[in-house]
Amino acid sequence: MNPTLDRLRTRLAQVVDLRRVNSLLFWDQQTMMPAAGAAARGEHRATLDRLAHELFVADETGRMLDELESYAETLDYDSDDASLIRVVRADYEKARRVPAELRAEMTRAASEGLRAWMGAKAESDFAAFLPALERNVELRRRYIDCFDGYDEPYDVLLDDYERGMKTAEVRAIFEEVKHALVPLIREAADRDADDDFLRGSFPVERQEAIGREVIEAFGFRPDSWRLDHTPHPFAGGAAIDDIRITTHYRERDLDSFFATMHEYGHGLYEHQVARELERTPLGSGVSLGVHESQSRMWENLVGRSLPFWRFFYGRLQAAFPEQLGDVELERFYRAVNRVHPSLIRIHADEVTYNLHIILRFELEQDIVNGRVELRDLAQVWGERMDEYLGLEVPDDARGVLQDMHWAGGQIGYFSTYSLGNVMSVQIWERVLEDVPDLVEGFERGEFAPLREWLGENLHRHGRKYRPQELLERAVGRTIDPAPYLRYLREKHGTGALTA
Ligand code: ZN
């Protein structure tokens, strides 16, 4: 073992520990903490964040990386050591470009932005949020100025969430998706949609029990996972054997069921990272897009498929006999796959969802490039919702204020949701080639073959490879929307969706 590498690993383990404890504090804040603890918690988290950052960007880290350069050249590219040195070098160089003072200002503006957004959303008043948004955007512009060598400014923001991906690539993918989806949505919307039985009264404690039952069938293990309740579902945790996922229950519908499966997919990714990578910066999912490909796979490709429901529908009916006792399987399956334009992204079906994302992706570029004035944003939002989904936006809360991302300064994030959708089907098709009886297994409640394929081909690598490099290794090519669009057409096009 190389002694410099030993020292570097020790330092990085401390950085990772501080970050993991910080994410646990975030989990606690969302699930357990009394509301009045928020101010103190903000200080705790800022301190941990600063300590981790300082330890990471210190000159000493750079000296160790320099010393390790010639050693790294002797190693196999795929080895854990070579990957660690390569990825940490890239992370380090990126982090060093941003002055500490700008970083602190962005953190502060994000927490103030979130506070302003919550108030503005409650009042449905975009004007009340505008100053905080202006501040966040101005700081993101200064952040972009810290970098050079990009094709367009938005590349810098995108790279934070999907390393190596260029705006132009995403634009080309989304153009193709948009052209395919507009007619598909029109066809699907013409079909009669009988899903009234999905709204009514679904007691929360029964939703919780049945949600737990489904993810336990998928592979949730009570000895190393937790499922809790938060207003906004998320997945996190502190270690490979300490996975925390959350969901959100509403008495009036069964959305929680799909949200729980979604977060299970995120949790499984983190749970199946190779143990050798734990306590290193390689020990987590590689990007938001690849992460989302995993959550969408369990939510949509498994959880909205007919074979899955052949296995599970009887249990769901038994949990909600008043609502579903008389609803046969095919009717239920069609209802949970209904395509119908709606105002709120997080409640959108799997087809129209992408147009919500494309709208935000385009608007973000308009903001960064100064083509849209921020004060006009609510109005422009309304015009584009009309253009893309034929909907009139009744108020700011159900329009431009619905998501928290921009309030927290996260510009460049949204596109990863649809990139994940696209990649999920590429991965799925590859799994089907390798495991031909995969979906027949679902009818018998067998999910281990899918779990194991994902662990072996994607999850265990953690952050060793760049996102597109990982995809290419797993499925044989980089991102391509054709399989996804084919899947959507087959499932939702004219004549489809018959059981
Ligand atoms: Zn997700």
The pTM assigned to this predicted structure is: 0.96
How do residues 80-106 score in pLDDT, each as one tens digit? 999 999 999 999 999 999 998 999 999
Contact in structure between 373 and 248 (CB atoms under 8 Å)? no
Co-location of 68 and 194 in the same domain = no
Considering the domain boundaries, does residue 382 fall inside one? yes
Report the DSSP pairing between strands 235-239 and 225-229: unpaired
Considering the domain boundaries, does residue 72 fall inside one? yes
Please give the pLDDT value at position 232. 87
Please give the pLDDT value at position 495. 62
351 CA distance to ligand 1 centroid (A)?
A: 16
Q: What is the mean pLDDT of residues 198-202?
A: 95
The DSSP letter of residue 461 is G
The DSSP letter of residue 200 is S
- Beta strands of 240-311 (E only): which ranges? 242-247
Point out the least confidently predicted range of 87-96, 189-198, 261-270, 315-324.
189-198
Residue 34 to residue 258: CA distance in whole angstroms: 28
Residue 287 to residue 408: CA distance in whole angstroms: 19
Please give the pLDDT value at position 283. 98
289 CA distance to ligand 1 centroid (A)?
A: 9
Query: Residue 284: which pLDDT band, with cuts at 50, 70 and 90?
Result: very high
In 3D, which of 289, 299, 244, 297 has the Cα closest to residue 270? 244
List for the chain the helix, strand, coil content (%; round to 5): 65, 5, 30
How do residues 358-404 score in pLDDT, each as one tens digit? 999 999 999 999 999 999 999 999 999 999 999 999 999 999 999 99
In 3D, which of 105, 128, 104 has the Cα closest to residue 49? 104
Considering the domain boundaries, does residue 441 fall inside one? yes
Co-location of 92 and 187 in the same domain = no
Residue 391 to residue 387: CA distance in whole angstroms: 8
Query: Residue 39: which pLDDT band, with cuts at 50, 70 and 90?
Result: confident
285 CA distance to ligand 1 centroid (A)?
A: 12
Across the chain, mean pLDDT equals 95
359 CA distance to ligand 1 centroid (A)?
A: 18
Q: Which of 43, 69, 112, 263 is catalytic?
A: 263
Co-location of 195 and 113 in the same domain = no
Distances (CA, A) of 380 to 35, 175, 373: 35, 20, 9
Residue 169 to residue 165: CA distance in whole angstroms: 7
Co-location of 35 and 173 in the same domain = no
How do residues 294-312 score in pLDDT, each as one tens digit? 999 999 999 999 999 999 9
Considering the domain boundaries, does residue 158 fall inside one? no
Considering the domain boundaries, does residue 235 fall inside one? no
Co-location of 86 and 180 in the same domain = no
By CB atoms closer than 10 A (0-12, 13-18, 19+), residue 97 is middle
Considering the domain boundaries, does residue 205 fall inside one? no
The DSSP letter of residue 374 is G
Residue 351: give its domain's CATH number.
1.10.1370.30
Residue 497 to residue 499: CA distance in whole angstroms: 6
Co-location of 326 and 416 in the same domain = yes
Co-location of 281 and 377 in the same domain = yes
Residue 413 to residue 457: CA distance in whole angstroms: 25
65 CA distance to ligand 1 centroid (A)?
A: 34
Considering the domain boundaries, does residue 295 fall inside one? yes
293 CA distance to ligand 1 centroid (A)?
A: 8
265 CA distance to ligand 1 centroid (A)?
A: 8
353 CA distance to ligand 1 centroid (A)?
A: 13
Number of structural domains, the chain? 2
Domain range for 22: 3-148
Query: Residue 268: which pLDDT band, with cuts at 50, 70 and 90?
Result: very high
pLDDT reading at 498 higher than 70 = no
pLDDT reading at 496 higher than 80 = no
Query: Residue 174: which pLDDT band, with cuts at 50, 70 and 90?
Result: very high
Co-location of 191 and 117 in the same domain = no
Catalytic, 263? Answer yes
Co-location of 301 and 347 in the same domain = yes
Considering the domain boundaries, does residue 103 fall inside one? yes
Question: Residue 10 — φ and ψ, nearest 5°?
Answer: -65, -45
111 CA distance to ligand 1 centroid (A)?
A: 22
How do residues 423-452 score in pLDDT, each as one tens digit? 999 999 999 999 999 999 999 999 999 999
**Contact residues for 471 (Cβ-Cβ < 8 A; gap 6+):** 290, 423, 426, 427, 477, 478, 479
CA-CA-CA-CA dihedral for 175, 179, 181, 186, to nearest 10? 150
Co-location of 187 and 109 in the same domain = no
Co-location of 192 and 115 in the same domain = no
pLDDT reading at 143 higher than 60 = yes
9 CA distance to ligand 1 centroid (A)?
A: 30
Co-location of 172 and 119 in the same domain = no
Please give the pLDDT value at position 499. 44
Please give the pLDDT value at position 376. 97
